Structure 1
Amino acid sequence: MSKRIWASVITSVVILGAGTVGALWIHKSLEQELQSGPLLAAAPADSAQVQAAAAKTEVPKTRKEIIEDSQKRVVTIISGDSQGSGFVYNSQGDLLTNAHVVEGSSVVTIRTLSHEEYQGTVIGIGVDTDVAVVRVPKLKGMVPLTIARTQRAETGDEILALGSPLGLENTVTTGIISGIGRSFEIEPYLYSNMIQISAPITHGNSGGPLVSATTGEVLGINSASIDQESGIGFSIPISSVLKQVEEWSKKPMTELPGASGGVTDEDSDEYYSAGEDLVLYFYESLDAGDYVTAYSLIGSDWQSSTNYEDFRKGYLMTTHVTVDEVKATTEDNAGAQVSALITAEERRNGETVFQRYQLNYTLGLENGQLKILHGKGKKAE
């Protein structure tokens, strides 16, 4: 089919977050990336080496095994009124998803295959690239999906698309790569060299992984479709965004464009709930040893008086924190007041001691994000 016919057939495309629709402009593809397979390793020098290498050769997983392993690492992401998908991509508990799934929020809800719910913090998000990273301390240490760093998508490859289309969690659809090098725009995002797939995807699939049906490696991030009837979807090649997302994981963004921290109405009970959740998440991050995330949750005044290294050192001797109680008490022009009663397990002079603390925090918005602005505390009996 010629490019002119291709452009005339496709009239609109939707990005797959809940209810988001955009116009699609298919650009002429000027070039396609050269496809190359992995280089063959040199043969072992003798029969003993051959036998040793053969013993280490893993038996390829069946498609069913690939699906079962992948589903454990795919989650549902709930952000405001939107729902999408994501997947664990490193051992820090970081998830990859689409920017349009989490846009406008800095804190989101994560639901796993076993229906456990956790809070996640958006630590990186694209402005014109539809990709984001969400950090979930409770998932730290989970074995991530394997990223295809050398394998490239080729037309005809069999693939699996995982996610939560239309709220149907842990759904898997199958298909093939039906095209590569597709480029288009859905404001405000630019999509370049997209992978076209025949596996049916729709609203809620956004951010889920596109997985090779033969290796189980992640080839892309499911992001858009033309419509439900066409059976044509598009995925962002993982290789095109991997460098950026890994940079966010190493150095989380301190300010997110357009993020509201999940606070929609400062005069409602939701504001109180968001304040309590933020304090809980602060201690969850500390308890997981994720000092970077905890530090990112405090306000600029606090950060200016305490640099990151001093902040981190202050908690190194605390081995575990139990939050016994957290409660939003008042709200005024200064922000929400949240009290917390915690029990800290600490190392002192080579011994383990338990100490309770009563803490009071002032929370407020900074650049659209809810932050812990100030805090004070004392030992509790």
Structure 2
Amino acid sequence: MKINKIFIVSLLTTITFLVIGITACFAIHKNISLKSSRGSSKLGNVSEVLGTPKSKDLKTIIHENQKLVVSLEVKNSSGNITGSGFLYDTKGDIVTNAHVVKDGSAIIVKMADTATYKGKLIGKSELTDIALVRVDNLKGKSPMKISKNKKADIGDEIIALGSPLGLQNTATTGIISGLNRNFNLENYQYKNVYQISAPVSPGNSGGPLLDRSTGQVIGINSAKVDDESIGFSIPITQVIPMIDNWAANPNTYKFSSQNTASTGDSKLSTEDAAYLVSYFYNSLNSNDYVTAYSLLGANWQQSTTYEDFRKGYLQTLSVKIDNMICHGTENGNIEVSAVIQAVEGNTSNSKVSKYNVVYTIGYENNNLKILSGKSTPQE
């Protein structure tokens, strides 16, 4: 019995210690858990890490969208009319102003990379200054992002894209300076349109108005007041039902067969050649190596793979073009020479180098290309 009492006392003592230990461990664990959950993470709160992505910078928004903005050349009985437009859907449909394509017998659509296509008119309003042009060659191409429910407010920052005064792919910035403006112009009714501080110049009509924070299309640039720096843009939400109906049920216009339209090797201008070289370097500055590589001619691409091309510019932070000179050659091409200033290296250790560059610009399968080029460092 004495042994049993000792055993029982030892057993009770052991159990007591175990209970106390388990209780203490649970309390410590709970306290640590509470402290951890209430403390601030060095990586930021979950809502900060998983929150809304940062807005894209202005240069990126402009470059990404300019690739989908087009220049329109419309032939009619009185001559040629130039305007702008943008890719609206995957059917190859281009939104523009009705006054740009009015009475046109042929529509030529020029892309940012200077590729040209025939367009056919499939929708046009007689009251609202909106029209839709279909380009079969652009079917399947990803369109611009359209804001289908945003209503802009006064003070919102905007970007107006287009080809004013024949200057392809121009961007101007500003703000929404007025709402619900109403007026009539050239038999078109403008109702509840945006007033913008970015000017709408000749040739800029039909280009997209972008929301600066999202890069999405919120309007169609359409008109201006005399010579003042005041433009007007039709809210895209007003005309989406009309545009979608035309896209689903395209109309057939008597003069929209485009039989007289030509996208062949038209006379190459020095302006187009200079633009192509500038667009090449703008693509590099935006790290868009795919677009830059696509501007090279077939022989150049055969001798240089995309991987090697890209590697050659990975250490180039930015490029500035100076002293660009263009002149024709005997075979009809254009030779473009320039001095470029390249910032090379990385953000912590970089240097500025100057190069003399010479490019030959010409048509290849009806598309303007950089056929060849050479670069030599300046001493």
Task: With the length of structure 2 as denominator, give the TM-score of the two structures.
Answer: 0.54
Which residue of 51, 70, 77 maps to 1:75?
A: 70
CA contact (8 A) 2:107 2:261 kept: no
2:117 aligned residue: 118
Instruction: Evaluate the alpha carbon distance shift between residue 53 and residue 96 of structure 1 in structure 2; reply closer, same or farther with a 3 A threshold.
Output: farther
Structure 1 residue 261 displacement after superposition: 3.7
Instruction: Evaluate the alpha carbon distance shift between residue 54 and residue 253 of structure 1 in structure 2; reply closer, same or farther with a 3 A threshold.
Output: farther
* In structure 2, C-alpha distance between the alignment counterparts of 1:196 and 1:56, rounded to whole Å: 33
Q: Percent identity?
A: 46
| Cα displacement string for residues 131-157 of structure 1 (whole angstroms, at most 9, x for unaligned residues) | 001111111122111111121111000
1:217 aligned residue: 216
Equivalent position amino acid for 1:274 in 2: T
Structure 1 residue 106 displacement after superposition: 5.6
Instruction: Evaluate the alpha carbon distance shift between residue 249 and residue 54 of structure 1 in structure 2; reply closer, same or farther with a 3 A threshold.
Output: farther
Instruction: Evaluate the alpha carbon distance shift between residue 70 and residue 160 of structure 1 in structure 2; reply closer, same or farther with a 3 A threshold.
Output: same
Runs of 4+ in structure 1 displaced over 6 angstroms?
A: none
- Structure with higher RCO (Cα < 8 A, 6+ apart): 1
* In structure 1, C-alpha distance between the alignment counterparts of 2:123 and 2:184, rounded to whole Å: 21
Structure 1 residue 52 displacement after superposition: 10
Q: How many residues align?
A: 215
CA contact (8 A) 1:160 1:212 kept: yes
Structure 1 residue 103 displacement after superposition: 0.9
SS at match of 1:91: coil
* In structure 2, C-alpha distance between the alignment counterparts of 1:119 and 1:52, rounded to whole Å: 49
* In structure 2, C-alpha distance between the alignment counterparts of 1:101 and 1:53, rounded to whole Å: 47
| Cα displacement string for residues 219-259 of structure 1 (whole angstroms, at most 9, x for unaligned residues) | 1100000123x1001011101111000000000013x3xx5
- Larger helix fraction of residues: 2
CA contact (8 A) 2:178 2:194 kept: yes
The answer to whether structure 1 residue 203 and structure 2 residue 226 are counterparts is: no
| Cα displacement string for residues 102-145 of structure 1 (whole angstroms, at most 9, x for unaligned residues) | 11126410000000000111110001111001111111122111
Which residue of 51, 56, 64 maps to 1:61?
A: 56
Instruction: Evaluate the alpha carbon distance shift between residue 261 and residue 56 of structure 1 in structure 2; reply closer, same or farther with a 3 A threshold.
Output: same
Instruction: Evaluate the alpha carbon distance shift between residue 276 and residue 64 of structure 1 in structure 2; reply closer, same or farther with a 3 A threshold.
Output: closer
CA contact (8 A) 1:101 1:206 kept: yes
2:236 aligned residue: 238
Task: With the length of structure 1 as denominator, give the TM-score of the two structures.
Answer: 0.53
Tell which structure's C-alpha radius of gyration is larger: 2
CA contact (8 A) 2:108 2:261 kept: no
SS at match of 2:240: helix
Instruction: Evaluate the alpha carbon distance shift between residue 262 and residue 250 of structure 1 in structure 2; reply closer, same or farther with a 3 A threshold.
Output: closer
Query: Matches of residues 1-381 of structure 1 in structure 2 within 5 Å?
Result: 55=50, 57-80=52-75, 81-105=80-104, 107-228=106-227, 230-254=228-252, 256=253, 260-261=255-256, 274=260
RMSD: 2.2
Structure 1 residue 178 displacement after superposition: 0.4
Instruction: Evaluate the alpha carbon distance shift between residue 53 and residue 244 of structure 1 in structure 2; reply closer, same or farther with a 3 A threshold.
Output: farther
* In structure 2, C-alpha distance between the alignment counterparts of 1:115 and 1:75, rounded to whole Å: 9
2:345 aligned residue: none
Which region of structure 1 is more displaced relative to structure 2, 56-65 or 195-204? 56-65
* In structure 2, C-alpha distance between the alignment counterparts of 1:54 and 1:249, rounded to whole Å: 41
* In structure 2, C-alpha distance between the alignment counterparts of 1:56 and 1:173, rounded to whole Å: 30
* In structure 2, C-alpha distance between the alignment counterparts of 1:76 and 1:57, rounded to whole Å: 34
* In structure 1, C-alpha distance between the alignment counterparts of 2:72 and 2:109, rounded to whole Å: 5
Equivalent position amino acid for 2:169 in 1: N
Instruction: Evaluate the alpha carbon distance shift between residue 55 and residue 138 of structure 1 in structure 2; reply closer, same or farther with a 3 A threshold.
Output: farther
